[in-house]
Homo-oligomer: A and B are copies of this chain.
């Protein structure tokens, strides 16, 4: 076991504070990464504050991890010391079920998340990326393109793949008319990715002050979803809508914008249920409401390579580790464009 420094939540009501904990030794198939940057995902806040009622304390959040390889096990093939590398939401799975066999480890019933999952190596829970080092099985380590800004790559590991996977699964591309609901951490990535895939992209927001930004990010059109007249112009016209809003809201105003056989995919689980959706809207055009969870490892690598090819990263604001609690408060107010990323060098000087 080796000592690692990080930031921890000891309970739902306390701020995150410095913490020293142990990680396993580097096994034959493990990659040891010095963490350089870690994105701040809304899931980190949900978990730190036990808003999903499943947190085991102490919890070290963080699953948008990029850094440099500092050691590799004897059987590691794809990485060597000095390489850039990343770890996302997943750090292990059963490897044998049909989901794993299909490269969709995120749907494996035994998936191990990068934090707050039982850790078979330490007997404790997994600890995430708010720390200076992580050790992960090679299968769950991503190659990071060198041509992109490293800090701005970090959020691709969650916000990027969470939106890329459904856009690909529902075959978004040239000729598609795609709606993105919400312009936050997920939404701003979805706009960039769908645009790069060649789709006609419409961003739905309740905030008129986001119009300009959405267009800069790649939206062909922006619709204020509170305005029924604007919405009506798009009735029955969308092939696919990716709804990134995790707060409870009326889904019907979006399902009725889908074409026949169109799908609205939800990325977020709201704390309070959405109003019950109109079944009439589904039946009368054979529409679908679906969900999607992050993405598998193979697809995450594909997404990173796609981002390198299209020069896509997240829009970020870099913060020091000690400022993470303030960042949480600002995130709750929507005061972030569009992702905080912790510069992990600021942890060393504690």
Contact = CB atoms under 8 A, between A and B. Distances in A.
Interface stretch (A86-94, A137-145, A150-158, A270-278): A270-278
A275 B274 contact: no
Contact of A266 (B107, B279, B290, B292): B279
Contacts of A283: 266-267, 269, 291-293
A263 B265 CA distance: 13
Interface string A212-227: 0000000000000000
Contacts of A279: 266, 268-270, 273-274, 291
Contacts of A169: 286
B292 A107 contact: no
A280 interface: yes
Contact of A275 (B236, B276, B288): B276
A312 interface: no
B290 A107 contact: no
How many copies of this chain does the complex contain? Answer: 2
B291 A282 contact: yes
A284 B291 CA distance: 7
A43 to B, nearest CB: 12
Interface size on A, as a range, is 20 to 34
Chain B CB count within 10 A is highest, among A263, A276, A281, for A276
A266 to B, nearest CB: 5
Contacts of A268: 279
Contacts of A282: 266, 289-291
Nearest to A52: B280
A282 B264 CA distance: 12
B286 A290 contact: yes
Interface string A193-206: 00000000000000
